[in-house]
Structure 1
Amino acid sequence: MNLQRATDEADNILQGAEFTEKSFARTMRRELVERLAEYHRTKVPLRVFAGYDASRPNLHLGHTITMRKLRLFQELGHDVIFLVGTVTAQIGDPSDRLYERPRIPLDEVVSAASTFVKQMSLVLDPDRTTIMYNGDWLSDLPLSDILAVASAFTVQQVTSPAAVKDRIKSSKPVGLHELLYPLMQGYDALHLRADVQLGTVGPIFNILAGRRLQRIHGQRPCIGITYPTLWGTRGHRRMSKREGTHIALAEEPNEQFAKVMSIDDETMRQWITLVSSWSPDEARERLQRWGSGELHPMALKQDLAFDIVRTYHGEAAAAKAKESFLSGHRGRRDPDPSVAVPLIADSGGILDVLHATGSVPSRQQARRLLLSGAVRVNGDKVFEEGYRVSSGDLISVGPRRLYVLQPDETPP
């Protein structure tokens, strides 16, 4: 009975998880089931943590992917640690960077960390959350301990991430301090005596470092579970505060709603799966209705925007934000369009549609219009070349040219 219960819990925890290696995924699932079954026998809760580098103020939607899983562990009775990266924030993870990030002053990190602590209760139960800062142990780590940690790894291992290899190959600087990042992350797991570590998918070495250090020091290696990185509001790239493509949890309701409405359809699909409050069955049902044409993508996007604002600001604020958005956009949708462009079933890409209007002489010119911010769909600027439009969408090109997409009713 304990094994079946543990298996069901593990499957729930691993819902949406993503691993770079299938063999590692199988190992982590097996170990998680074993550890959960052990908990049900012994009643000793697991120590579970996720780290959040305080490089800039405010938690955003991307952070909530792992935070929601931490909340699930809380509900299952385990000890959850919300780890604020104060030292690792000053280093920066080099595994997803194509450049060397300047070191962030400590006072800026401390200021950003305070916003993380204030906002974590938007997802986690504060009464069941232990807040820790890795600066409490990493800042005073003796050189002898740093050398001991470094001696457990090779240069080949710490330079294995593709982004680091690319920088070395192209003669771009890679700071020695950056190569310490996975080692410091591994030391966090060791210091916390962690049973489970949650993170975002990336080089497996960042997780393996902690497991190796724990083995060396006689601890049972922690289970590493990784989840996808959330795309930002523009294009299919990681949500980024630096690039302004994030949605902060504490952001104003109207701003949150409008930003969700600006994302493209593929980003909406990812967000529904990863950051909506809908159950997997509810999310699947909505996506199926969208795929069958029963639910218009704009209606689904409004539902998602409402759900996200409601989660962090409440039902009343979400209703007001929706009404504000719709009232502000009605003026752009009400005028009769000057040109109606049929949507060819297999050609709904924004570049093809712009070219079909005759308003641009080529796809190259259409690309330039997109990059310049001259194209709007339903009132929101579109920058992504892969953006797909649907019947009923209102497209504006510049200040005067307006088009409504209509279905192609030509007989087959």
Structure 2
Amino acid sequence: MSPEKQLLELKKNAVSFVSEDELLKRLKEGRPLRVKLGVDPSRPDLHLGHAVVLRKLRQFQDYGHQVILIIGDFTARIGDPSGRSKTRPMLSMKEAKANAITYSKQAFKILDKEKTEIRFNSEWLDKMNFEDVIRLAAKYTVARMLERHDFDKRYKNNEPISVAEFLYPLAQAYDSVVVKADVEIGGDDQYFNFIVGRKIQEEYGLKAQIILTLPLIEGTDGNLKMSKSYDNYISFEDTPVDMYGKIMSIPDKLIIKYMKLLTDISDEEIANYEKQIKTHDVNPRDIKMQLAYDITRQFHGNEKAKEAQAYFIRVFRNKNIPEEMPEIALNHGEIGIVELLANFAEISSRSEARRLIQQGGVRINNTAISDIHAKLRLSDGDILRIGKRRFYRIKNKP
């Protein structure tokens, strides 16, 4: 692939890129670039938030470039302050080492092991003496450190910032010096650390690394970034059934974002799915099932993904549902939930329908409908449930 085409593909989904021109120049040098990702093993396993960046690394590998995965077993003992409103607790050496081993194994669910150089930054940072640390710290100013948003905010609010937190981005930057990184990639919350890396590399006589940051994805709650701390994560190590089920639990608003960042579904297909969701031409659940299948397949293979999908349909979608039930025949298109109940489900009045909805007694499949003004576009086979014992199967008219 030509340098220009590589650049076109590599910049997809990027949030920050410093800079496209620099990357194109290095691609034109015709040598494998050294592409760095640093991960701190603050927790023992990886989740789909990490997969966003690992997939971009794999793309670099597919184009013939060398990936350097730095396991921050040293920096994890300091604690990355990125996006934090207070000082983070430090890990012990034992905790960091144990988590690091797990990280390095799980990364190969996405990365090509033969094209990955794994380094632990304790290899060089443990060897630094106090003079080395002071000399490194002298290469960056406090004023520049306070340009970082979270530091600036805490400083203005008279909240504590430890000197150790200033040292974290310098330690991460020194990693880039040691491995001679051409490119550093990571989540967009790492942008400041990467900028420090560019400056420190220049201080050591190297070309400044190119920066490519990617979006952070929200977790299953749909609001906070995916994190074990928030218990909203989907782990690489989840069973196929758990992984599939967790993906099905994400809010509909995340379907397209997950597709773009976590699958190889083509841009054309994703654009079509996005249009269908916006125009209500399809039930978002059906597209989410495709998403859940695709991601589960990546980590567990086709057969396990099929089994997980079948399990979900059997146990969750049709939970406690009788085999025989009355059918409601509907024309294609939207229908109001109150109209559905009052006109088709033998509810005595529209006021009674509204009361049932507001009390949480109405579900479509396994999803409660709480908005009396909700407009629904129902698919063949959907189940309307009223209370505990009244069920209706939706049948679309030809």
Name the TM-score, length of structure 1 as normaliser.
0.80
In the aligned structure 1, how far is the partner of 2:123 from the partner of 2:385? 54
Question: Is the Cα–Cα contact under 8 Å of residues 256 and 270 in structure 2 kept in the other structure?
Answer: no
Shift of 1:164: 2.7
Identify the residue that residue 8 of structure 2 maps to in structure 1: 11
Matched, 1:341 2:338: yes
The one of 236, 254, 277 equivalent to 2:241 is: 254
Shift of 1:240: 0.4
Query: Of residues 195, 199, 205 in structure 2, which corresponds to 1:212?
Result: 199
Query: Superposed, which structure 2 residues align to 1:362-373 within 5 Å?
Result: none
Q: Quick one: distance in 2 between partners of 1:389 and 1:168?
A: 48
Residues 79, 129 of structure 1: 8 Å contact kept: yes
Question: Equivalents in 1 of 2:389, 2:87: separation in Å?
Answer: 43
AA aligned to 1:331 is: K
Distance (Å, rounded) in 2 between the aligned partners of 1:401 and 1:164: 56
Cα distance change on mapping 1:342 and 1:178 into 2, 3 Å: farther
CA distance in 1, matches of 2:226, 2:237: 16
CA distance in 1, matches of 2:326, 2:27: 61
Please give the secondary structure, in 2, of the residue aligned with 1:181. helix
One-letter identity of the residue aligned with 2:6: E
Deviation of the 1:359 alpha carbon: 5.7
Residue 176 of structure 2 is aligned to residue 185 of structure 1: no
Secondary structure, in 3 states, of the residue corresponding to 2:184? strand
Q: 1:284 maps to what in 2?
A: 271
Q: Which amino acid aligns with 1:17?
A: A
1:19-57 deviation line (CA, Å, top 9, x unaligned): 2xxxxx4x5101111110112xxxx21111111110001
Code of the residue aligned with 1:184 in structure 2: it is A
Q: Distance in 2 between matches of 1:265 and 1:148?
A: 51
**2:34/2:66 contact within 8 Å kept:** yes
Superposed, 1:26-45 pairs within 5 Å as: 27-39=18-30, 44-45=31-32
Relative to structure 1, the CA distance from residue 205 to residue 289 in structure 2 (aligned partners, 3 Å threshold; closer, same or farther) is same
Q: Residues 298, 314 of structure 1: CA spacing in aligned structure 2 closer, same or farther, 3 A cutoff?
A: same
Q: Does the CA-based 8 Å contact 1:396-1:402 persist in structure 2?
A: yes
The answer to whether the 8 Å contact 1:80/1:130 transfers is yes
RMSD over aligned Cα, in angstroms? 3.3
Q: Are 1:306 and 1:318, in contact at CA under 8 Å, matched by a contact in 2?
A: yes
The number of residues matched between the two structures is 367
Instruction: Specify the structure having the higher radius of gyration (Cα).
Output: 2
1:124 maps to 111
Cα distance change of structure 1 residues 112 and 290 upon mapping to structure 2, 3 Å threshold: same
Match of 1:202 in 2: 189
Alignment match, 2:61: 74
CA distance in 1, matches of 2:168, 2:298: 33
- Contact 2:337–2:375, Cα closer than 8 Å, also in 1: no
Q: Percent identity?
A: 32
Residue 331 (str. 1) matches residue 315 (str. 2): no
**What is the correspondence of 1:25-174 to structure 2 with a 5 Å cutoff?**
25=17, 27-39=18-30, 44-174=31-161
Secondary structure, in 3 states, of the residue corresponding to 1:198? strand
Q: Take 2:289 and 2:42, find their aligned partners in 1: how far apart are those partners?
A: 31
- TM-score when scaled to structure 2? 0.83
How far off its partner does 1:104 sit? 1.4
Aligned equivalents of 2:121 and 2:78: distance in 1?
12
* SS of equivalent residue, structure 2 residue 97: helix
Residue 144 of structure 1 and its aligned partner are, at CA, apart by 1.7
CA distance in 2, matches of 1:238, 1:13: 23
List gaps (5 residues or longer) in structure 1: 20-24, 344-355, 407-412
Deviation at 1:379, TM superposition (A): 3.0
Alignment check: 8 A CA contact 1:332 1:378 kept: no
* Secondary structure of residue in 1 paired with 2:186: strand
* CA deviation after TM superposition for structure 1 residue 375, in Å: 10
Q: Secondary structure at the match of 2:293?
A: helix
CA gap of 1:85–1:389, structure 2 versus 1, over 3 A, is farther
Q: Residues 76 and 289 of structure 1: is their aligned pair in 2 closer, same or farther, counting only changes over 3 Å?
A: same
The residue type equivalent to 1:194 in the other structure is A
In structure 2, runs of 5+ residues without a counterpart are 328-335, 341-352
